[in-house]
Structure 1
């Protein structure tokens, strides 16, 4: 076998492979013998079909299959052993392949067009610093969070007169019922937040004992809200229209929870804090921790951008565009590929950079690491607890293994989890090599940074 790499440029090359009988014939002969032992042909006992007949019947197809398998293995092995930065797939020279006479030829020549990325190096010492943002919770964020918590853990109170947001209880009466039917009446509750804005003025300011006359479908144009207000089914509420009266019997409203020990315990757990000052300190910590994941994700994006912006890599653009068009035949037009090409090349370059870093740092991902991440995902998804419960741990392990080995999606679950672990390890290594500058920002400043990304 003769293999030659001919580089036309930094980004384009041809891989030429020449095969002689010595390369493929031993394996072809071995498979012909296996066929001879197994083939069943009328007039011959099993295993006694003449070799010449087996050769005539199956020799050509076996040789073609063996050579194709050998080519695929050889191309992949050559690329791997010579550490070629191949992008896209090797494209066979179809004209050369179609010109082969499989009946008479014994020597075969094949050629593959390769798209290559130009050579590049990653020197972390030459890269600029990357900013890691630490979110500081100011008074406004703490106050807003506590206000929300007080509303969430509200208590019920009674009002003297109606304000927006109240729930008013009383008797609802239909003024003009249809002829031959009884007037609708009901003891019910009106949630003011479900009432149309332009109808609220009739009720705001009323007191117990006051009677309001109004048009029901104007106050509650939404039939679902009208059903809630009248206490009937939605389909029945659609028929309730016209003037009604409502006599106010009671007014209730949600009162923000008081800043007392009962509230502290409900929010943070029994005995976690004992006064408002401690509550504010704890809430500030919670606000900061809630943004930790977002801050880490922004740091990852900034690290990737720094690597991309400072690592010049040339790609075989025409080769890749043609390859994308062929690979996605019928799915995309040349115009669509052109439109999305920049995003595609960023993804390709970033993966090349990550692979280079992993190679330099000898970063590898083992199955046990992938399994451990999957176990954590199962615990989080199903709310399982770890610890000393062996039966539960075995259940988690079984679910995780089944997820990774699911054959229905051709191993995609394992591949996607593997890639996530791989990316995480490369990113964590990059953090140790880059200069990371910490900068404190407010919540609003951080939100602005995220929006700009």
Structure 2
């Protein structure tokens, strides 16, 4: 059996020495060689009849090294399990460990050294002693107006007027690259698109007003659109908005369809369609229902902001000591690619904060016995599927969703992602229940500024 000793070499940083004798690794070594002899297929020898000397010469050094290291590893793992050491990451092998020095012709006692970083013990602060604010965002009147107009359009009726007349007319058009006279260029750009009349520049709108289906106009990209609308259209045509020559191109634009959404009138039929079962009778009640929806969304934004505040309150007010020397060595050697000393010093503050939050959230999970059940993971994945496809993609037979979710719940990555979201939500719900923030009303504009300042301060 391996002999293991442990000594402290720094803050929460111990050195573990594992020593194995010939009796620990030599019997397994000899047994492994016999197994090789039974299965070896070497030209000139019958299977199972290869002399042990040949097997030892061919495979002995590698098998010997493997068995010594296996004994070392078993001794280390058994010790960590027996002592129940709570460590960061994995033990780091010391630089002076040299597997190349193992000599099967001279079996001896071997000692290998490992460093471990020990997780610290710590206490969480009382959140009631930390000044915290939770904001109640006031709903701007214009936001209710904008949403009301959006709903009138969304639930409106599409008509096909004979001529182009209003900024809200929807024009289905065909762009064909041409010369200034409208002669289409052979093999030039050709693309269908759909635009509102208001997307065109004021001067060009005059040329379009009064036009009918199947009529054409010639335009130059540089003058027919204002900057914002031109940028996305140029990109859609496969051109470069920063290339002056591209902006000077001419296109023959043929109107293939004119559409206009007739906005819904404010009446009980419309209110019932938007809010079924709420029995809304008046415009005032309809506006109040819209305002309540907006308040709900803004409250969620406020809650997310409060969670960020709680996150930083715990990070800033929880005293945790770290085995920094070990962690920097682990950063240097533990990743897929080795890091330089400069990279480590630059990345370490962020890394330590992430590690600190992991310890804090793990402590909250353990102390409050938080858990995520399989049904909760399935429900979370189902919500994500429904959210991804949206209402428009979920018409007709919905039976496929169950089988689709079944497949996703067998995907380890999907399950882990859902678990992380759910356990994080439970952690913040738990923290939130322990805090008593001061409530403060705030305008939406001021709240947005607050968020920008918060992001700037913490990045």
Query: Same fold, TM exceeding 0.5?
Result: yes
When residues 146 and 369 of structure 1 are mapped into structure 2, their CA distance, relative to the original with a 3 A threshold, is closer
The 5-angstrom pairing of residues 72-83 of structure 1 reads 72=73, 74-75=75-76, 78-79=79-80, 82=83
Q: 1:400 aligns with which of 399, 408, 426?
A: 408
Aligned match of 1:193: 198
Query: 1:395: Cα distance to partner?
Result: 0.6
Which structure has the larger Rg?
1
Worse overlay, 74-83 or 139-148: 74-83
- Cα distance change on mapping 1:149 and 1:215 into 2, 3 Å: same
The answer (yes or no) to whether the contact 1:117–1:313 under 8 Å persists in 2 is no
Q: Judging changes above 3 Å, is the alpha-carbon distance between structure 1 residues 207 and 419 closer, same or farther for their aligned structure 2 residues?
A: closer
1:306 pairs with 2:310: no
Distance 1:59 1:252 in 2: 83
The residue number in structure 1 matching 2:148 is 146
CA distance in 2, matches of 1:157, 1:394: 41
Query: Which stretches in structure 1 are left out of the alignment for 5+ residues?
Result: 169-175, 180-188, 209-213, 229-233, 242-250, 405-411
| Cα distance in structure 1, aligned partners of 2:333 and 2:20 | 28
Pairwise mapping of residues 248-267 of structure 1 onto structure 2 (< 5 A)?
Answer: 257-267=264-274
Distance 1:439 1:34 in 2: 76
CA gap 1:166/1:338 in 2 versus in 1, 3 angstroms: same
Assess if the C-alpha contact under 8 Å between 1:127 and 1:434 holds in 2: no
**In the alignment, is the contact (CA less than 8 A) between 1:86 and 1:116 conserved in 2?**
yes
Q: Which residue of 2 aligns with 1:341?
A: 348
Q: In the aligned structure 2, how far is the partner of 1:37 from the partner of 1:190?
A: 78
Measure the CA separation in 1 of the matches of 2:170 and 2:345.
Answer: 59
For each residue in 1:154-211, what CA deviation from the matched residue of structure 2 results, as whole angstroms up to 9, or x when unmatched? 57799xx97766689xxxxxxx9799xxxxxxxxx996423324556x679x999xxx
1:220/1:318 CA distance change after superposition, 3 Å: same
Contact 1:12/1:115 (8 A) holds in 2? yes
Q: Is the 1:16–1:111 Cα contact (8 Å) retained in structure 2?
A: yes
Please state how far the C-alpha of 1:102 moved relative to its aligned partner. 2.8
| Alpha-carbon distance in 1 for matches of 2:373, 2:62 | 39
CA distance in 1, matches of 2:398, 2:168: 51
SS in 1 for 2:117: strand
Residue 63 of structure 1 corresponds to 64
Q: Offset of 1:284 from its aligned partner?
A: 1.8
- Per-residue deviation, residues 30-53 of structure 1 (Å, max 9, x unmatched): 444433432334455444545565
Alpha-carbon distance in 2 for matches of 1:279, 1:30: 83
Counterpart in the other structure of 1:244 = none
The corresponding residue for 1:220 is 224
> Structure 1's 111 and 422: CA in aligned 2 closer, same or farther, altered over 3 A?
farther
Task: Give the aligned partner of residue 275 of structure 2.
Answer: 268
Q: Deviations over 1:69-113 (max 9, x none)?
A: 454455456456545453454321232325733322331101112
- Distance of 2:170 and 2:382 partners within structure 1: 47
Work out whether residues 162 and 203 of structure 1, in 8 Å CA contact, stay in contact via their aligned partners in 2: no
Tell whether the 8 Å contact from 1:88 to 1:320 is kept in structure 2 after alignment. no
Q: How does 1:114-153 map to 2 (within 5 A)?
A: 114-122=116-124, 124=126, 128=130, 130-137=132-139, 139-153=141-155
TM-score (structure 1 length as normaliser): 0.69
Indicate conservation of the 8 Å contact 1:37/1:46, yes or no: yes
Alignment of 1:301-380 (within 5 A): 301-327=308-334, 334-365=341-372, 369-380=376-387
2:334, 2:379 → 1: CA distance? 35
Do 1:265 and 1:271's aligned partners in 2 also have CA atoms closer than 8 Å? yes
Compared with structure 1, are the counterparts of its residues 416 and 48 closer, same or farther at alpha carbon in structure 2 (3 Å cutoff)? farther
CA distance in 1, matches of 2:453, 2:385: 34
- 1:389-414 per-position Cα deviation (integer Å, ceiling 9, x unaligned): 9954651443223433xxxxxxx444
Q: Secondary structure at the match of 2:24?
A: helix
CA shift digits 1:400-451 (9 cap, x unpaired): 23433xxxxxxx4444444334433433333344446655545444433332
Structure 2 CA distance for partners of 1:372 and 1:40, relative to 1, 3 Å: farther
What is the CA–CA distance in structure 1 between the aligned matches of 2:155 and 2:404, rounded to whole Å? 35
Deviates more, 1:339-348 or 1:26-35: 26-35
Looking at structure 1, the residues matched to 376 and 251 of structure 2 have their Cα atoms a distance apart, in angstroms, of 63
Cα displacement (A) at 1:256: 5.2
1:377–1:28 Cα change, 3 Å = farther
Unaligned 5+ segments in structure 2 are: 172-179, 184-193, 212-216, 238-245, 455-459
CA 1:257 to 1:401, structure 2 compared with 1: closer, same or farther past 3 Å?
closer
Distance 1:425 1:29, change over 3 A: farther
Measure the CA separation in 2 of the matches of 1:17 and 1:360. 34
CA distance in 2, matches of 1:38, 1:358: 51
* 1:7 maps to 2:8: yes
Q: Deviations over 1:5-60 (max 9, x none)?
A: 21122243212111223433454444444334323344554445455654454343
